[in-house]
Chain A
Amino acid sequence: MNEGGTDLPPEEQQMWTTWVRERAVGALPPEKLLPDRQPSYVSSWIYVFGVAALASLVVVIASGMILGLKGPSWWHITGIGRFFNGIHLWAVELFFFTMVVHLWGKFFMAAWRGGRGRTWVSGAVVFLVAIGAAFTGYLSQQNFDSQWIASEGKDGLNSVGIGSFFNVADFGQMYTFHVILLPLAVSALIVWHILLVRRSGVVPPYAARAVAAAKAGGEGPPP
């Protein structure tokens, strides 16, 4: 088995497939992609909220798929449909709950240190896109709440000239955004976010007190 691109014959080294594979495996070898160990400082319950948010998203998508199987009017007219709509709603509440607690933890840990800026950026963008996904979900309910949210939401979007491109009163458009486009965007961003975490590892602690004091007296502020 080849262990590196340099062991391959020249014509294979030049292949696009080889290039992609070597870069991917180089950045994330299996033991880095799915490690069975973590640094010793990963010992707090705050660390479970990222995976809890991921689990919430899985339940959101699964319940959403069941709602999608039976179409947008199903949950209004059957008890079982109403039940799965409830799962979907509460999973969304849990998703935002766990995501925000995860965000607070990452902020207080300054988790962007050590070249992890993109991890923070991707997570922040996920949060904002998820708000958009939730917005289109509320618009897709086909009840009074969705009517009101559409009539109010149109003013914000129209005021900056994008209300005709993204027409909140167009159920077909909002439903398509909600069921396909935004879940794909959220999922892709989360995959990128998790791969970045695996690549850089969980951010280590700030320097300990004595070291920080020594550095402050000597060479400058701690990292």
Chain B
Amino acid sequence: MSSTPPAAPDPAAPWPGPFVRYDLVKELVIALAVIAGLAVVLTILFSSPDDPPVTIQSWSRADPADFVATSLTELAGTSEVAEYGPPYNHTPEATQKIGPLDLQSAGGVKIPIDTARDFVLDPLRSIPGSPRLQREVRRYEAAPAALRSAWIERYEAALEGARFPGALPSARFGPVAPMMAALLADAKSGGLDGVLLTGEHTFYQTNYTKPLLFLSGGEYFEGRAEGQHLLGTQWGMMNETGSYPGQVWLWLFTFWYQVEPFLESPNADALVFVVMAALSLAFICVPFIPGLRELPRHLRVYRLIWRDHYREVEG
């Protein structure tokens, strides 16, 4: 074992010496105490955020106009979810592509959602003791598609002028008006939250896909997020509710969404995903990338880290 360090150590060979005593276990125990102590202090100082979730019930009570407007688009099949494409439904030209590559379609329709049936018609059919409502639902389902669209469009136009979307009585809206009134009442009672989650035949459930997709179609939900700076255009991926630090490590992921060509692209999600996958692969492979693996030598920060060693060998 050498008592003076070599000036040009071979990184692949065992270090010939000298050595210093280094108590790894003691270091770990000290680190545990320090980190645990820091976590406790930070918790006592700041606690953690817990913004209560939005429910269909709270949404329909806080913004009934938005709830009904969203329900109409789900019924009409013109909502974002209805026209999403895989994995929820088959919608031509809806998928995101990476050049000619359509990975979204390759995933297939594995979580089938028919927004008219799942978000409106089935919940209405599940409301007990409502023979008049069930007659209106059957009348809607029996009508030709063009008439259904006409009823919905007229009701949407009337809603924009209305102060409150009660059942605007008019034959021009067909069964759509009483259907929307019943859906709103069911939502306000909390029944819609339940039936979207468990349907009529399940008890246990942990899959919130349907209620969450329904919520995501409304402006109320997005408005809540915008108030907390959580939107994609607000670098939202990095942010947390309130004044807590968020997921700072996602800075590069959210960065791409702010710049062209991703900012305006309909394929932004797929393109950003691929860019980040490529950069992550490059990050993993740094030791094998010529140029990049030599960068630390040129940056010379190592001279500071190992200055004691260089002082000794360079005199």
Chain A interfacial positions (CB closer than 8 Å to B): 34-44, 46, 48, 51-52, 54-56, 58-59, 63, 75-76, 82-83, 85-91, 93-94, 96, 98, 100, 105, 107-110, 112-117, 120-121, 124-125, 128, 131, 134, 138, 141-148, 150-152, 155-156, 158-165, 167, 169-173, 175, 201, 203-212, 215, 222-223
Contact = CB atoms under 8 A, between A and B. Distances in A.
B11 A203 contact: yes
A30 to B, nearest CB: 13
Interface string B268-288: 011011100000100111111
A55 B31 contact: yes
Contacts of A85: 48, 50
A143 B23 CA distance: 44
Given A51-B31, A222-B8, 19 more contacts: A40-B19, A55-B31, A55-B36, A86-B47, A87-B43, A89-B244, A90-B42, A91-B39, A93-B42, A113-B12, A141-B50, A143-B52, A144-B54, A146-B53, A148-B221, A158-B84, A159-B270, A172-B206, A204-B10
B164 interface: no
Interface of B: 5, 7-15, 17-25, 27-28, 31-32, 34-36, 38-40, 42-43, 46-54, 84, 86-87, 95-96, 103-108, 110-111, 206-209, 212-213, 215-216, 221, 224-225, 230, 232, 236-237, 240-241, 244-245, 247-250, 267, 269-270, 272-274, 280, 283-288, 293-294, 296-297, 299, 301-302, 305-306, 308-310, 312-314
Contact of A86 (B13, B42, B209): B42
21 contacts: A39-B15, A40-B19, A41-B5, A48-B31, A52-B31, A55-B28, A55-B32, A90-B42, A94-B39, A113-B11, A141-B50, A143-B50, A144-B224, A145-B241, A147-B212, A148-B224, A159-B96, A161-B86, A161-B104, A170-B207, A205-B310
A52 B27 CA distance: 9
A82 B274 CA distance: 37
A161 B105 contact: yes
